[in-house]
Each structure stands twice: as structure tokens, then as C-alpha cells.
Amino acid sequence: MSRSLARGLQILQQFSPERPEWTLSELGEATGLPLPTVYRLLRTLMTHQFVEQDPITRRFRLGSGVIRLIGPALHARRLPEIARPHVRWLSEALGETANLAVLEGNRVLYLVSYASPRLVGVQTYAGLLLPAHCTALGKCLLAYLDEKAARALLGPEPYPARTPFTKTRWRELLPELRWIRAKGYALSRQEYELGLNACAVPIWEGDRVCAAINVSIPLSRWSAHRLRHEILPALRQAAGAISEQLRMSGEIENHDRWDRRSRG
């Protein structure tokens, strides 16, 4: 990878949902690059619409060039296409926000998202990155990793505290990950955002967990009875349908490869 490309990617990686806008000097401090270099790279990124500058605040943010890449990137993957109708069904069946995500380092990357139709709901979107240690999706995915690998993936402690309920130490998180494996579902009780609970279950591709699906629900519409009798059954139905389609899709792909080899 060329030096300029690596530095340009380093700048793009600074933008996040928690920090969507930066000044020139802030980017220089965050990347450790000289300000003239940061400015030159930003001008190049702006030329290709990967970065734009607010005309009033003069702060930089991601541009439409990045957004245009998200669709093709997701469509190139089998999982979102298979999952999309089932995530939509889940959202409509429960009247809540439903999402499907995969692990991306120590964060979860949302691949499919359908917002709650209710006036008071949770707003998410495909491409969103959230911390794994305090979200139901993230904990669900971490639970099915080797424990040493999961701990290494989360990085140094303490983990960022989003709310007073966030578990910030591995010794606090590990028993819950083992509980998730035993029960088959994960919960986040106001750990990412106060007033918000979530439940997630794994998506299986063969003998491995490849993703997780969740619903995010304001505390006012959450109850133990609803979790047991409505939320979990719907989640498991959607996850089972996605896992089964992935299995069938994999069998078709394997058959096609074998057929091409036999005819070759």
C-alpha cells in the first residue's frame, strides 16, 4: 500500500458515529500527521467527495463518495440479501427497530436495519458501527468466539463506559458471555444508552456464528413477559429462517463448484 493511500485511509478511519466531524488541527493531533500533510490529503479526499467541509463551521465530515460505496459493498455480500426480508418482517411483527450485524474488530457493523414505525423508536442504519462490549449484538457475537480471542479483540481495559450500567472489565463481561452461550440469546439493559434495552440471537452459517440479529426497544415498551412470549420467539423465528437460507445457499454454491469441476 502506498504511503499516501495509507495516510488517506488513516484520516477516513477517524470519522465515527461518536465523532462525525473534525477540524484540521484535531485530525492532525489524532493521526500524528503534519498539518500540511493532513490538509493536502483532505483536499484530495474532497476532490473525490469522500470528505466534505461545512461552509459555516469549516469542520470536515464524510462525503457522498463514502455513502455511494456502502450499497455496492453490502450487495456484494450474500448475507444482507438473504437477511433483509426477515429483518423487515421482525421489525413489522414487533413494531420495533430490528438490525442484523457482524463483528468488525471490537465493534459491530450494521448490515441491515429497519426502523420502528412508532413515534418513539430507535434510529439505526446500515453502515453504523457501535461498541461490541455494551450492545446485545456485540455481546452475542463475542460469546461464540474463543474466550481468549474475544478478550484480545476487545482490547485494553477498561472498556468505554457508555452508561452507569456498562460493563467495563473483562471479569464482569466473561460470566455474561458464558450465560449467553448457554441461553442462546444476549441482552443489553441500558448498557449502551439509558432508557434503551435490546435482545439479540445468533445467525448460524453451518457450525459457526456469522452474524447476529436484534431488536432495540425503549424501556417503556420492555417487559420480562414480552421478552419471553413475544420478542424471543420472533427473533428465533427470523434467525432460524436466515440460518436455513444460508445453509441452502451454501449447498447450492458447493454443488455448482463441484459440477463445474466435474465438467471441466
Q: What pLDDT does 71 receive?
A: 55
Closest to 231 measured CA to CA, from 247, 217, 251: 217
Cβ count within 10 A of residue 158: 12
Q: What pLDDT does 65 receive?
A: 83
Supply the CATH number for residue 170's domain.
3.30.450.40
User: Do 181 and 140 belong to one domain?
Assistant: yes
Q: What pLDDT does 219 receive?
A: 95
Domain housing 184: 77-255
Cβ count within 10 A of residue 176: 15
Per-residue pLDDT of the chain (264 residues; tens, 9 = 90+): 478 888 999 999 999 878 899 999 999 999 999 999 999 999 999 999 999 998 889 999 998 888 667 655 654 468 998 999 999 999 999 999 999 999 988 999 999 999 988 765 677 888 889 999 999 999 999 999 999 999 999 999 999 999 999 999 999 999 999 999 999 999 999 999 999 999 999 999 989 999 999 999 999 999 999 999 999 999 999 999 999 999 887 654 444 444 444 445
Residue 263 maps to a domain: no
Residue that finishes a domain, picked among 66, 95, 113: 66
Q: What pTM was estimated for this model as a whole?
A: 0.70
Strand, coil or helix: what is 197?
A: strand
Supply the CATH number for residue 61's domain.
1.10.10.10
Domain count, the chain: 2
User: Do 49 and 149 belong to one domain?
Assistant: no
CB 191 within 8 Å of CB 140? no
CA distance from start to end of the chain: 36
User: Do 187 and 248 belong to one domain?
Assistant: yes
